Amino acid sequence: MNKVNKMIILGDSARYDLCNYGNYNTDNFLSGKLPGIYNATAGNGVCIPLFKVIMTNKCSNDCRYCVNHGGNQFNRVEFTPEELTSIFLDYYNTRLVEGLFLSSGIPKDVDVSMENMVEVARKLRMDHEYNGYIHLKILPGTSYDLLKRAMSLADRVSVNIEAATPDGLEELSTTKTFNNDIIRRMKWIKRLRKKDENLAPSGQSTQFIIGATNETDTDILKCANWLVKKLDINRSYFSPFNSMKNTPLENHCEPHPKRTSRLYQADHLIQSYGFSLDELVFEEDGNMKLDMDPKYSAALKKDMFPVEINSASYKELLRVPGIGKISARRIIESRKINFTFKTMEDLKKIGVNIGRAEIFVKLQSSYQKTF
């Protein structure tokens, strides 16, 4: 099979690995012209086209959600490291992409598959003096030395956790173990980065599949929070489960389209706004409401409201729907120069969404109307 046909198959197979929040773009792929290009959004909001592909769709693992699972019968293809390097450079040198995101199926020995991925990164860095972005997936069960070599070549690495609990992962695959193949590798990455900051300098991330098991939002957020605190995971991606034909889960329900957005919002409140898990509102089934964002739900539950804008602490301001980090800082700064907020218009001018904030705030001890 020629390289273009392989790209069409293996570029498409990479689409479910998320490398940015909720924004994988397959437009280019669907045009049938440029397989493997996906737009990722960097931390500063800038959109970066990445070359995202798997080395091979040959795999002996039995992940029940994945079309490449070993029990499936179809023609499998693979790239050699030389082929993949040359295709990537073609894309890169014509400015179609600005970075590489590489993963792989595991036909037999995990280290052989990982070695092939590392060889692509080595060729790019050493033989072609490529200094751009490389994100390497660390395959579950990769050996310590190989993992370290991958980290010495990649900007970012990630081990996909897939499930929030050992039982959840057991439901999805009998060939990957939660504690050994995944958590242990994450711990190695953390330890290696502590020893040498040049190893995977952009850190490690992971991905959960949402809705493939009965795991609740509480399970998922607890695990994501634990990963940040204990293993220095700097980003968790929540990939909605897709029921694919010819997989054991082809008849399994897909999650509500809003579920992953709610998880991202809740995770953001925990990681960036300092919310504790206990502040969030979960229904009896352990999931969050879908028809209301988690910050608004949490505010309705709290008895701290309304807060007086002219005296509330930064932490209290951050809990008001409609007030973000920037507007909370502006409120504090304005108060330092003895500015008194008297009307909702004053809040609007510094960026507060007054429609959301209105019922949760007081100005000079009184509720104010937005009109």
What residues line the site for ligand SF4 (CB under 6 A)? 59, 61, 63, 66, 68-69, 105-106
Phi, psi of 236 (to 5 degrees): -110, 130
| Closer Cβ to ligand SF4, 106 or 189, answer by number | 106
Q: Which secondary structure element, helix H or strand E, spans residue 114, and what is its range?
A: helix 110-122
Q: Which amino acid, 255?
A: P
Residue among 177 and 271 whose Cβ is closer to ligand SF4: 177
Minimum CB separation from ligand SF4 for residue 364, in Å?
58
Q: Which is nearer to ligand SF4, 53 or 317 (CB)?
A: 53
Least Å distance, CB 266 to ligand SF4, is: 26
Q: CA 117 to CA 103: how far, in whole Å?
A: 7
- Least distance from ligand SF4 to the Cβ atom of residue 246, Å: 12
Taking the least distance from each CB to ligand SF4, the nearer of 41 and 143 is 143
Looking at beta carbons only, is 173 or 368 nearer to ligand SF4? 173
Give, as one character, the DSSP assignment of residue 78.
Answer: B
Q: How many Å from the N-terminal Cα to the C-terminal Cα in the chain?
A: 66
Is 155 within 8 Å of 135 (Cβ atoms)?
yes
- Assess whether the previous peptide bond of 306 is cis (omega < 30° from 0): yes
Closest CB 97 distance from ligand SF4, rounded Å: 22
Distance of closest approach, residue 324 Cβ to ligand SF4, in angstroms: 37
Burial class (CB in 10 A: 0-12, 13-18, 19+), 124: buried
Instruction: Using alpha carbons, list the distances in angstroms from residue 119 to 49, 92, 230, 339, 350.
Output: 22, 18, 31, 60, 51
Other Cβ atoms closer than 10 A to 50? 25
Q: Which is nearer to ligand SF4, 205 or 327 (CB)?
A: 205
Nearest distance, CB of residue 243 and ligand SF4, angstroms: 15
